[in-house]
Amino acid sequence: MQHFPIFLAVAGRRVTVSGGGETAIAKLRLLLKTEARITVFAADPAPEIVRWAADGRLTLVRRAMRAGDAICARLHYAADDDAAEDRRTAALAAAEGALVNIVDNLEDSAFITPAIVDRDPVTVAIGTEGAAPVLARAIKADLEARLPHGLGILARLGKAFRPRAEALPQGRARRDFWADFYFGAGPRALDESGEAGVEPALEALLAGHATARPREAHVAFVGAGPGDPELLTLKARRALDEADVVIHDRLITPAILELARREAVLVDAGKEGFGPSTSQADINALIVAHARDGAQVVRLKSGDATVFGRLDEEIETCLAHGIAYSIVPGITAASAAVAAIGQSLTKRTRNSSVRLLTGHDMQGFAEHDWRTLARTGEVAAIYMGKKSARFIQGRLLMHGADPQTPVTIVENASRPDQRILHTRLADLEPDLGRAGMTGPALVLYGLAPRAVEALAPELSTTEVAL
């Protein structure tokens, strides 16, 4: 992030603008929404700027900017429609302590102006580091359509009521009150009775929350999907938004953790096969400790919480301590991996069933019904198969599997750094970790990427770009 986003206080402070043409007008339309004291320097100002000056909305100085003109200015916009003049006025303002923006000159500007969605006092700023203004405008248009114009009224009245709401205990009690107001009682009151009906709604809501019983502790076992935050379910997003504590495994991507509330406590309870791990007993203890404190806990698991995630043990821990829980399923790593190669897990002419297997369990390499799996046309999605590849290969060949059976390994399924390796059972690397696959990988036995299957079925081991 090259530009740090802040909201700068400009009420009653000087902001200067050099230039009197269309470029200056575009900036002034935005600046005039603020309470800043605006001074424009322009020898030949456009009629619109002259009208704003006549209406008392800004001060117009009908000459080029000089030394001393930006003293005490908090911001300066160089909008002269002339590169040399922009450099001159920007240098004057910078020497006098103002933060300077040269319009359409990202490199020489001390700050940039984002695209803004204005629901005063709610303001949404959208920046792209100057790389994609068209994208910023598209996001702005989308937000403009989504955010009701009454949102500003609710925010203003809510701000005035905030001292009254401090009667509620700090933390979740207040958050629940404000959530009920902004997403329920407030919009209803505004629709039904206009602005006059909002304050009585606030009073009634506060009385109800003041006598309400505290929300009971709860643990949500949430499937985070394979890593792409866009694959999170809406229910998972809501759970993260409400969580006081998020206990997550090591496969949860930073982009997904970013979706948790800023105030939430994030606890890394990672496990790694054959490596440093948080024990299951310690994870169980963490869940109980935070829930006993009255927290809304999210136990965030990669993929789907019900697949190879020790979910039963954690549920039994909750039951043993009388802690309420719920399960929010997620998109499995198997679904994401098979989607990445353009195939389906089942096909009427190929296989009518599919197995989800683990490469190793608590006792070591996991044993399965290898004889059945070795039959022609069988398909399996094998989790935790990186270090057990030689074991899996040996068991299948021992039980008669065709050495030319396709095998596809998908690393970091659905993520930007996703990799796909296609091979045959006979050529399967004995240790995929040593073969350069360091991220979470899923082995698809009996499936080749559709592109390979259609164009080059004779290929042995190859990395596939899809």
Q: Could you tell me if 207 and 223 lie in one domain?
A: no
- Of the listed ranges 143-147, 230-234, 393-397, the least confidently predicted one is 143-147
Q: Could you tell me if 324 and 351 lie in one domain?
A: no
pLDDT confidence band for 352 (50 / 70 / 90): confident
249 catalytic per annotation: yes
**What whole-number distance in Å separates Cα of residue 428 and Cα of residue 392?**
9
Kindly state whether residue 126 falls inside one of the protein's structural domains: no
- Tokens at 91, concatenated: 């240098």
Containing structural domain, residue 45: 14-113
Q: What is the DSSP string of 178-189?
A: HHHIIIIIHHHH
Kindly state whether residue 206 falls inside one of the protein's structural domains: yes
- Kindly report the CATH number assigned to the domain that includes residue 343: 3.30.950.10
- State residue 234's pLDDT score: 94
Q: Which residues pair with 233 in a beta bridge?
A: none
Using a 10 angstrom Cβ sphere, with 0-12 exposed, 13-18 middle and 19 or more buried, the burial of residue 124 is middle
pLDDT at 363 over 90: no
pLDDT tens string 221-248: 999 999 999 999 999 999 998 899 999 9
- State residue 114's pLDDT score: 87
Contacts of 196 (CB under 8 A, 6+ apart): none
Kindly state whether residue 123 falls inside one of the protein's structural domains: no
State which of 211, 235, 252 marks the end of a domain: 211
Mean pLDDT of 28-38: 94
Q: Could you tell me if 338 and 460 lie in one domain?
A: yes
Helix (H, G, I), strand (E, B), or coil: what is residue 247? strand
271 catalytic per annotation: yes
Give me Rg for the CA atoms of the chain.
Answer: 30
Nearest C-alpha neighbor of 359 from the set 386, 333, 393: 386
Q: Could you tell me if 171 and 245 lie in one domain?
A: no
Kindly state whether residue 399 falls inside one of the protein's structural domains: yes
- State residue 275's pLDDT score: 54
- Of the listed ranges 16-20, 213-217, 396-400, 434-438, the least confidently predicted one is 434-438
State which of 312, 331, 350 marks the end of a domain: 331
pLDDT confidence band for 377 (50 / 70 / 90): very high
- Kindly report the CATH number assigned to the domain that includes residue 276: 3.40.1010.10
- Kindly report the CATH number assigned to the domain that includes residue 206: 1.10.8
- Of the listed ranges 133-137, 316-320, 341-345, the least confidently predicted one is 133-137
pLDDT tens string 42-56: 999 999 999 999 999
List the beta strands (DSSP E) in 162-224. Answer: 218-223
Q: Could you tell me if 378 and 347 lie in one domain?
A: yes
Q: How far apart are the first and last CA of the chain?
A: 29
Q: Which residues pair with 220 in a beta bridge?
A: 298, 326
340: Cα within 13 Å, side-chain hemisphere: 29
Contacts of 212 (CB under 8 A, 6+ apart): none
Domain count, the chain: 4
Angle at 434 between CA 342 and CA 389, to 5 degrees: 60
State which of 301, 316, 331 marks the end of a domain: 331
Question: In which residue are the tokens 């309870």 written?
Answer: 269
- Tell me how many helices (H) and strands (E) the chain has: 16, 20
pLDDT at 339 over 90: yes
pLDDT confidence band for 433 (50 / 70 / 90): low
pLDDT tens string 97-118: 999 999 988 889 999 888 888 8
- The chain-wide mean pLDDT, for the chain, equals 90
**What whole-number distance in Å separates Cα of residue 294 and Cα of residue 283?**
17
Kindly state whether residue 140 falls inside one of the protein's structural domains: no
Sign of CA dihedral 374, 377, 380, 386: positive
Percent of the chain scoring above 70 in pLDDT: 95
Q: Please check whether residue 445 is in contact with residue 405, taking contact to mean a CB–CB distance below 8 angstroms.
A: yes
Q: Could you tell me if 342 and 316 lie in one domain?
A: no
Q: Could you tell me if 191 and 202 lie in one domain?
A: yes
Q: Which of 80, 244, 249, 304 is catalytic?
A: 249
Q: Please check whether residue 359 is in contact with residue 388, taking contact to mean a CB–CB distance below 8 angstroms.
A: yes
- State residue 276's pLDDT score: 62
Q: Could you tell me if 185 and 237 lie in one domain?
A: no
Angle at 128 between CA 123 and CA 134, to 5 degrees: 90
- Kindly report the CATH number assigned to the domain that includes residue 37: 3.40.50.720
Nearest C-alpha neighbor of 330 from the set 406, 385, 258, 251: 251
pLDDT at 435 over 70: no
Q: Could you tell me if 458 and 339 lie in one domain?
A: yes
Q: Could you tell me if 277 and 179 lie in one domain?
A: no
- Tokens at 239, concatenated: 């759970």
Q: Could you tell me if 23 and 79 lie in one domain?
A: yes
Percent of the chain scoring above 90 in pLDDT: 62
Kindly state whether residue 350 falls inside one of the protein's structural domains: yes
pLDDT confidence band for 294 (50 / 70 / 90): confident
Kindly state whether residue 94 falls inside one of the protein's structural domains: yes
> Phi, psi (5° rounding) for residue 241?
-70, -25
Which of 64-78, 179-193, 258-272, 344-358 has the largest mean confidence?
64-78
pLDDT at 460 over 80: no
**What whole-number distance in Å separates Cα of residue 306 and Cα of residue 36?**
56
Q: Which of 140, 235, 271, 387 is catalytic?
A: 271
- Tokens at 436, concatenated: 């350069």
Q: Could you tell me if 389 and 347 lie in one domain?
A: yes
Q: Please check whether residue 58 is in contact with residue 28, taking contact to mean a CB–CB distance below 8 angstroms.
A: yes
Kindly state whether residue 1 falls inside one of the protein's structural domains: no
